[in-house]
Amino acid sequence: MSDTTLSPETIRAHGVTLTDAAATKVKNLLEQEGRDDLRLRVAVQPGGCSGLIYQLYFDERYLEGDETVDFDGVEVIIDNMSVPYLDGAAIDFKDTISEQGFTIDNPNAAGSCACGDSFH
């Protein structure tokens, strides 16, 4: 995970951090979309082979109970039901020969499936 300059109070809004690499990738994707009204929503939903599955997507809505943190111009929103499952998690972006895509390092996950998309 890359170093961030955020204070613990700022991160505490929902407990999730976004690395510089992930923030840069999100900014690039938003530029490609030509939209400046979207935020990165991170959620946990029932499903997957391990019981819970991560969802990352762009959203223009704010919902009641949403927690939000701005990471150098990238707003990350998490619904209040997902916050306990994601507290302390770090979102990164990998672009190597063996890995490409967003990853979530979640200390709350007791285990995960082989595909890495779901956890329990």
CB atoms within 10 A of CB 51: 14
Please state the φ and ψ torsions of residue 5, each to the nearest 5 degrees: -105, 25
Q: What is the pTM of this model?
A: 0.77
Pairing of strands 74-78, 39-47: parallel
pLDDT tens, position by position, for the chain (120 residues)?
444 444 444 455 678 999 999 999 999 999 998 988 899 999 988 876 667 888 999 999 999 999 998 988 899 999 999 998 898 999 999 988 888 889 888 887 765 555 555 444
Please state the φ and ψ torsions of residue 14, each to the nearest 5 degrees: -140, 0
CB 103 within 8 A of CB 117: no
What dihedral angle (degrees, nearest 10) is formed by the CA atoms of 102, 120, 69, 65? 130
Q: What's the pLDDT at 111?
A: 59
Q: Identify the structural domains of the chain with CATH numbers, from first to last.
A: 10-110 (2.60.300.12)
Distance between CA atoms of residues 120 and 50, nearest Å: 5
Q: What's the pLDDT at 90?
A: 92
